[in-house]
């Protein structure tokens, strides 16, 4: 298979984030001339990139500026947050995810970008224990992912519309599972379940209170596996929306126990599952058969990924204070 990235001008929007930190060096290794757009602190930017754009991409003119003369664009933009902030600040999810998706793809079309990848989410799926690609438009997003789910669905629909009307060489949609790894957001508002648990454990929270009864089952995937999957999706010219996950489920209770059993954690708190708080859907696992048919599989086990994540956190806790906190700004 030919390397489509060699000597190409590539933009990674959201390149300082959880997946971007894994994707950017992989693209550089493949010979890509990579630029990064992000609102994060410049110290988080890979030193081997060509350009860094510190611009708000909810603005169309800014998106046009950064896509000019680019041949390939990866859209990794999007706000994530804890269940609590998802409930309390749904407008922030809607604003960021919709505006960034619409403006960046529109700018890419204006700038005549030929290869474009949009990062969607498992949140686009309805209430289903196993989420299959073709089932998205048969139902509505789960109530527990309603705002982010609908925002990302609009982004997917825009990709479909632009594929019909405009002359892109290839347009791609990936739907990752719950992503974790180094450079995750560890602050209280933006952190997802794994990052939140790690931060709270090392902050000495005891007892460790976890929302729900611990029985909810989720699909977790390491950020490096997501980045590799994105590269393979574009290399294989897969234009059908595709799931990227482990394809297996882990209960929240087992997740907590797995984290606490990690040898890097010396002080183990008492765990209390607060059953008065929502647990979310009982089971949400991605059907990964389509990805596997192209050789796209998760290679990092949960135990390996957690060790790498905890190691990074212990060495880089100071960096978590430099992340752009969308919820505080809007």
pLDDT tens for 137-161 read 999 998 888 888 999 999 999 999 9
When pLDDT is cut at 50, 70 and 90, the band that residue 270 belongs to is very high
The DSSP bridge partners found for residue 286 are 131
* pLDDT reading at 81 higher than 60: yes
**Inter-residue contact 296 to 224 (CB < 8 Å):** no
When pLDDT is cut at 50, 70 and 90, the band that residue 82 belongs to is low
* pLDDT reading at 323 higher than 80: no
* pLDDT reading at 87 higher than 80: no
Cα–Cα nearest to 265, from 216, 301, 223, 303: 303
| Average pLDDT of the residues in 257-274 | 96
> 64 vs 322, which has greater pLDDT?
64
* pLDDT reading at 79 higher than 80: no
> 127 vs 230, which has greater pLDDT?
230
When pLDDT is cut at 50, 70 and 90, the band that residue 78 belongs to is confident
- What is the distance between the alpha carbons of residues 330 and 328, in angstroms, rounded to a whole number? 6
| Average pLDDT of the residues in 34-56 | 94
| Average pLDDT of the residues in 198-215 | 96
| Average pLDDT of the residues in 39-44 | 88
> 170 vs 92, which has greater pLDDT?
170
69 φ/ψ sector (left φ>0, alpha ψ -120 to 50, else beta): left
Q: What is the CA radius of gyration of the chain?
A: 19
* pLDDT reading at 125 higher than 80: yes
Residue % of the chain over a pLDDT of 90:
79
Query: Can you give the pLDDT at residue 112?
Result: 96
- What is the distance between the alpha carbons of residues 153 and 35, in angstroms, rounded to a whole number? 27
Query: Can you give the pLDDT at residue 326?
Result: 55
210-256 pLDDT, tens digit per residue, is: 999 999 999 999 999 999 999 999 999 999 999 999 999 999 999 99
Q: What is each CA distance from 83 to 169, 186, 189, 279, 311, in whole angstroms? A: 38, 14, 9, 9, 25
User: What sections of the chain are H helices per DSSP?
Assistant: 20-29, 60-67, 83-88, 90-110, 146-165, 193-202, 223-235, 252-260, 289-293, 302-316, 326-329
Cα–Cα nearest to 182, from 305, 324, 2, 329: 305
When pLDDT is cut at 50, 70 and 90, the band that residue 318 belongs to is confident
Average pLDDT value over all residues in the chain: 92
State the pTM of this model: 0.94
* pLDDT reading at 80 higher than 80: no
Query: Can you give the pLDDT at residue 42?
Result: 87
Estimate the crossing angle of helix 146-165 against helix 90-110, to 10 degrees. 10
Query: Can you give the pLDDT at residue 329?
Result: 55
Query: Can you give the pLDDT at residue 151?
Result: 93
219: helix, strand or coil: coil
Residue 48, Cβ density class (10 Å: 0-12 exposed, 13-18 middle, ≥19 buried):
exposed
Among the residue ranges 33-37, 84-88, 248-252, the one predicted with the least confidence is: 84-88
Query: Can you give the pLDDT at residue 297?
Result: 95
Query: Can you give the pLDDT at residue 83?
Result: 63
When pLDDT is cut at 50, 70 and 90, the band that residue 2 belongs to is confident
Return phi, psi of residue 27, to 5°.
Answer: -70, -40
Q: Which CATH architecture has domain 9-183+220-245+287-299+319-329?
A: 3-Layer(aba) Sandwich (3.40)
């Amino acid at each position: 298979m030919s390397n489509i990235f060699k000597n190409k001008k590539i933009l990674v929007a959201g390149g300082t984030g959880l997946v971007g930190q894994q994707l950017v060096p992989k693209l550089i290794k493949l010979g890509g001339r990579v630029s990064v757009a992000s609102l994060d602190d410049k110290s988080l930017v890979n030193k081997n990139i060509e350009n860094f754009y510190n611009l708000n991409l909810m603005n169309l003119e800014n998106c046009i500026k950064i896509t000019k003369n680019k041949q390939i664009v990866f859209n990794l933009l999007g706000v994530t947050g804890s269940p609590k902030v998802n409930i309390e600040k749904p407008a922030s999810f809607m604003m960021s995810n919709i505006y960034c998706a619409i403006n960046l793809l529109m700018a890419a079309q204006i700038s005549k970008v030929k290869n474009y990848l949009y990062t969607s989410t498992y949140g686009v799926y309805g209430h289903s224990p196993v989420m299959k690609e073709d089932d998205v438009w048969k139902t509505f997003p789960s109530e527990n992912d309603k705002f982010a789910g609908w925002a990302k669905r609009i982004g997917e629909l825009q990709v479909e519309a632009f594929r019909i009307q405009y002359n892109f060489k290839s347009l791609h949609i990936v739907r990752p599972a719950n992503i974790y790894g180094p450079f995750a957001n560890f602050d209280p508002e933006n952190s997802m379940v794994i990052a939140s648990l790690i931060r709270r454990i090392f902050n000495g929270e005891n007892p460790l209170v976890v929302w729900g009864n611990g029985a909810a089952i989720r699909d977790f995937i390491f950020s490096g596996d997501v980045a590799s999957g994105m590269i393979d999706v574009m290399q294989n010219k897969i234009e059908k929306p595709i799931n990227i996950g482990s394809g297996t489920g882990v209960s929240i209770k087992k997740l907590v126990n797995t984290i606490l059993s990690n040898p890097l954690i010396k002080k183990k708190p008492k765990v209390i599952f607060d059953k008065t708080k929502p647990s979310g859907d009982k089971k949400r696992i991605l059907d990964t058969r389509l990805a596997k048919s192209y050789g796209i599989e998760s290679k990092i086990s949960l135990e390996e990924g957690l060790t790498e994540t905890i190691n990074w956190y212990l060495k880089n806790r100071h960096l978590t204070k430099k992340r752009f906190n969308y919820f505080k700004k809007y």
